[in-house]
Amino acid sequence: MLRYLTAGETHGKCLVAIVEGMPSNVYIDIEEINEQLALRQSGYGRGGRMKIEKDRVEILSGVRDRKTLGSPIALKIENKDWENWQHIMSDGEIVPERAVTKPRPGHADLTGALKYEHGDIRNVLERASARETAIRVAVGSLVRQLIKQFDIEIISHVKELGEVKSSAGWQDENFLKNREKSQLRCADPAAEEKMIAYIDRMKKCGDSVGGIFEVIVTGLPAGLGSYVQWDRKLDGKIAGSLMSLQAIKGVEFGLGFDSARRPGSKVHDEIFYSDKHGFIHETNYAGGLEGSMTNGEPLVVRAAMKPIPTLYTPLRSVDMITKEPYEASVERSDVCAVPAASVVGEAIVAWEIACAFVEKFGGDSLEELRNNYRHYSEQINRRVFRRI
């Protein structure tokens, strides 16, 4: 079983994670993790923090000679901005004049302060901040190198940003080329131009921008996940994990909400059989999941991200101490972080796929996992059903 925990604050010393259950003998390229961390920090509309932090991961344990040992893997990302915040964020006495008492609408500020009885909202916002996703990207990138051993690949792109929609599909001929050239991870150059103009317009107004990103997973075998118990359903696990990403307000697979607007004949994927490929579908309305299990088609999932709640034209709020009305406090923030969220989304989906893969095929080493996977593949490829 794979599992992990993270710790750290946005302006603290560092972010850390411990990953347990990774099979041994998986080759780890640390630069692949760092590349994903750099992608998370990129994108048009990012704020000043990205100019300070140049995230790189340090592996503290669990890897030797670039291969996993089977023991817990400890990861660390230093916060460069700690130097500017240590007088405020150290474990010593709090600086009273730097206390935050004006909660921002749409953030964890007020509810977190009430729940944990904090008089200084900084105790909430430091952990609730999306800075925490940096270490999650490192974790997802780590296990991604496991599932790549089985030809499972993950890509993402921005589908919508504010009022602008991309017409690009992940199977388009120039999809990857266009996405790599894009400042917004959008594979539709015409739509990207409109998106940038929209971000600029919202920035001038002191506002923020949300959007929708799509994650696609190819190379999946049929049978990951299960229908037999609610907490083993793979779509539920992926949706829940994506919803744990800051500012995500909705998740859909395949046709998603559009399936409620169509008749059943235009929703369900017909089944065919060929001697070469076995059971296949000619459409993928389900997004690669049927009965909460992968069906062998590409997994397609989208997540909707609300606009960031920190606005440079603040909304109205109330001071927690004095109860007087104020404009909400302003923390350094992005105007748009949807492209970054798509990178985090890839890492989150990678984690859930890796968990389902290890759960299904088991094994303490990569070699054992490969043997179990090969046996299963041979089994389903020669499967012959007979009438009962």
Sole residue written with tokens 């990178």: 343
At residue 275, does pLDDT exceed 90? no
Q: Is residue 239 part of a domain?
A: yes
| Structural domains of the chain, count | 1
The neighbouring-strand residues paired with 280 are 272
Q: Which of 61-70, 242-251, 307-316 has the lowest mean pLDDT?
A: 307-316
Span 224-247, mean pLDDT?
Answer: 97
At residue 50, does pLDDT exceed 60? no
At residue 131, does pLDDT exceed 60? yes
| Predicted local confidence at residue 329, as pLDDT | 63
At residue 385, does pLDDT exceed 60? no
Q: Is residue 169 part of a domain?
A: yes
Token pair belonging to 330: 């302003």
| Predicted local confidence at residue 330, as pLDDT | 65
> From CA 110, how far away is CA 112, in angstroms rounded?
5
Residue bearing the bigger pLDDT, 52 or 324? 324
At residue 170, does pLDDT exceed 60? yes
Indicate whether this model's pTM tops 0.85. yes
Q: Is residue 386 part of a domain?
A: no
Do residues 339 and 185 lie in contact, with contact meaning Cβ atoms separated by under 8 Å?
yes
Span 56-85, mean pLDDT?
Answer: 96
Q: Is residue 387 part of a domain?
A: no
Q: Is residue 335 part of a domain?
A: yes
Residues 6+ apart with CB under 8 A from 150: 219, 357, 370, 373
Which amino acid type is present at position 305?
M
Span 119-143, mean pLDDT?
Answer: 96
Please state whether 25 falls in left (phi above 0), alpha (psi between -120 and 50) or beta.
left
- pLDDT tens for each residue of 332-376: 568 899 999 999 999 999 999 999 999 999 999 999 999 999 999
> From CA 81, how far away is CA 53, in angstroms rounded?
7
- pLDDT tens for each residue of 89-104: 887 777 777 889 999 8
Tell me the pLDDT band of 126, cut-offs 50, 70 and 90: very high
DSSP reduced 3-state for 262: coil
DSSP reduced 3-state for 5: strand
Tell me the pLDDT band of 188, cut-offs 50, 70 and 90: very high
Tell me the pLDDT band of 52, cut-offs 50, 70 and 90: low
Q: Is residue 63 part of a domain?
A: yes
Which residue range(s) make up the domain with 29? 3-381
Output b/e per residue, 65-101; b: 16+ Cβ within 10 A.
eeebbbeebebbbbbebeeebeeebeeeeeeeeebbb
Mean residue pLDDT of the chain comes to: 92
| Predicted local confidence at residue 300, as pLDDT | 98
Residues 6+ apart with CB under 8 A from 289: 225, 234, 235, 253, 254, 295, 299
CATH number assigned to the domain comprising residue 185: 3.60.150.10
Which letter does DSSP use for residue 23 in this model?
Answer: P
At residue 257, does pLDDT exceed 80? yes
Share above pLDDT 70 across residues of the chain, in percent, rounded to a whole number = 94
End-to-end CA distance of the chain: 36
Q: Is residue 388 part of a domain?
A: no
Span 312-336, mean pLDDT?
Answer: 82
**DSSP codes, 347-359:** HHHHHHHHHHHHH
Q: Is residue 192 part of a domain?
A: yes
- pLDDT tens for each residue of 6-37: 999 999 999 999 999 999 999 999 999 999 99
Do residues 332 and 311 lie in contact, with contact meaning Cβ atoms separated by under 8 Å?
no
**DSSP codes, 163-212:** TEE----TTSTTHHHHHHH-SSS-S-HHHHHHHHHHHHHHHHTT--B-EE
